[in-house]
Amino acid sequence: MFRLQSSKVLAVDMTGDAVKAKNGSMVAYDGEMAFKKLSGGGEGLRGMVTRRLTGEQMTLMEVKGHGTCFFADRASEINLVGLRGDKLYVESSNLLATEGGLRTGTSFTGTRGASQGNGLFTTTIEGHGQAAIMSDGPAVLLRVSPQYPLTVDPGAYVAHQGNLRQSFQSGVTFRTLMGEGGGEAFQIRFEGDGLVYVQPSERNTIAGDV
């Protein structure tokens, strides 16, 4: 159902079914399509309240119809993630689209969310199907194993999946040592068994100014 028209454009072939996508990300379509804005990320009243409290913004739309719909956002690179009953954790700003059968929600992530100014929650996607996530530059997929934990700069983090535990730790980056501003004062540590998606360009975060 999901395929990449290019590294920056997602094509979704629909035969009467629906997908959820970032509001305003449709760039073209053929056939007949209907668009509907979803309140609170499609989670109903509870989701709206949660996001209002945490300050995280994720506005989705439902697209339903027959034909092919094309999605893109700010020329970001697009990565397809297949879910087989497992759960994907992704920053709301990095989520482009999900198949209609996948469930979206929120998950408490503690201080990591606060470091990025996105509240204390991150977006979750669960079920069977495909999701499209975005990255600023080609995403790098890093494996975490019990023997090899992984430490990630909050500004480079995109998503993760698997049996992973995450913690928040203070740290000093090379840029900080060189006396340059914007170095991250905090880092995310992943332990367990799973995959972490990072991007080769950092978003602005609050942590670097703490």
Query: Of all residues in the chain, what percent carry a pLDDT higher than 70?
Result: 73
Report which of residues 17 and 58 the model is more confident about: 17
Going 138 to 72 to 37 to 132, the CA torsion angle's sign is negative
Instruction: Give 15 or 114, the one with higher predicted confidence.
Output: 15
Q: Is the pLDDT of residue 28 over 70?
A: yes
**What pLDDT does 15 receive?**
94
Greater model confidence, 173 or 75: 75
Question: What residues pair up with 134 in beta bridges, in sequence order?
Answer: 78
Q: What is the DSSP string of 21-82?
A: EETT-EEEEEEEEEEEEEGGGGTHHHHHHHHHHH-----EEEEEEEEEEEE-STT-EEEEEE
Calculate mean pLDDT across residues 146-159. Answer: 92
Three-class secondary structure of residue 139 per DSSP:
coil
Structure tokens, 44 = 């109903």
